[in-house]
Amino acid sequence: MAIERVYKAIDPVAFISDGENSGVINITDTFCFKVKMIVILNADGMVPARFQVKRVNSKTQMILGQVKTSLHNRSDLSAYLLSLNSTVSAPEQPRPDIPDVDYNRATYEEEPTVAHRRILVDKYGLPYTIDNPMPTQLSDGSIEIGTVNAEIEVQLSHQDNVPDVGDVADSTQIGDGVEILQINPDGSITVKLNPLPPSNVKVMSTFNEVSSVPSNTITTVATYTVPVAKIAILETVDVSGSNIGTYTVEVNGVVKDKKRTWFNGPMSERFDFRTTSGGSVQLVAGDVVRAVITHKRPTVGDFSAKIDVIEIE
């Protein structure tokens, strides 16, 4: 960046590969480095050295040479190794004067454009092309596109590299917006409740806590029962306590998951049924979810649990 007639100082920028004997250095970002700018190379165990930017090749590469020499001059920079934490920086310095004739030449586009430059470039001086598109963003607005003729290639496969090497598996769901088809491990097909059903849903939380639970006593901390004429999806169960112990989540007396807290570890846990291989646990009217605690500590403990479900009418 430039201020009036000077270039702002550039903080050290790290090398991403060893320097080359042709004057080429590769760094994390060449932005703000300009041709004819004086730069300083630093490396562990070496005295800082001044060079001049002779060319900026890309977003990460530029060429350096000796100061006050031709732009074709190249310095041997092979001593600046990545292992020596090599960096390049630039002090604040005057911008070089450009004669009017050179300015006109720099902004003039040759044939077939024949005009002062009207080709847009990015901050690295690279023209915008299909491979280097101009960044755009729509915000608080809309865009209308008429009829577009396009060809879209779709490769549907349930396995990677099938039928051709390099194919990436896609997933297609079939449903009516409320329920979807699901293939079971044995190959059979069942209907699976969509975890994101229509608008007639409610997120319900049931919280409870128990106090002074003695050792080796199976104790229910929280209970949720699916109301009549509703179905539900068990999402998460959060548990915590003042003693370490074993937490169990049951549905109609059947254990769905179990977690334990340990010494020097967190005293809380989360059962997240949304991330299980079969998806969230589906419940029907009358199903009972219980969060249960058992501990073996000699002192009594206090425990709490919160059961979160999605209810659907």
Mean predicted confidence (pLDDT) in 13-40: 96
Query: Options 1.10.10.10, 2.60.120.730, 3.40.50.150, 1.10.2020.10; which CATH number does 201-312 get?
Result: 2.60.120.730
pLDDT attached to residue 275: 65
CA distance 23 to 10: 20
Task: Name the one residue in this structure whose structure tokens are 């044939």.
Answer: 111
**Residue 312, by phi and psi: left (phi above 0), alpha (psi -120 to 50) or beta?**
beta
pLDDT attached to residue 1: 57
Domain boundaries, the chain: 2-94, 201-312
pLDDT attached to residue 46: 96
pLDDT in tens, 163-211: 777 777 776 777 665 667 777 777 777 666 555 445 577 889 999 999 9
Confidence label for 229 from pLDDT (cuts 50, 70 and 90): confident
Which of 104 and 63 is assigned the larger pLDDT? 63
Q: Quickly count: other Cβ atoms within 10 Å of residue 49's Cβ.
A: 16
Q: Quickly count: other Cβ atoms within 10 Å of residue 300's Cβ.
A: 14
pLDDT attached to residue 188: 77
Tell me the CATH class for 2-94: mainly beta
pLDDT at residue 40 is higher than 70: yes
Burial per residue of 132-167, b for 16 or more beta-carbon CB atoms within 10 angstroms, e otherwise: eeeeeeeeeeeeeeeeeeeeeeeeeeeeeeeeeeee
Mean predicted confidence (pLDDT) in 2-23: 91
Lowest pLDDT segment from 160-174, 253-267, 297-311 = 160-174
Domains 2-94 and 201-312 belong to one CATH topology = no
CA 137 from chain centre, in angstroms, equals 19
Spatial contact of 56 and 33, defined as CB atoms under 8 Å apart = yes
Which of 177 and 74 is assigned the larger pLDDT? 74
pTM listed for this prediction: 0.43
CA distance 201 to 198: 7
Q: What percentage of the chain carries pLDDT values higher than 70?
A: 88
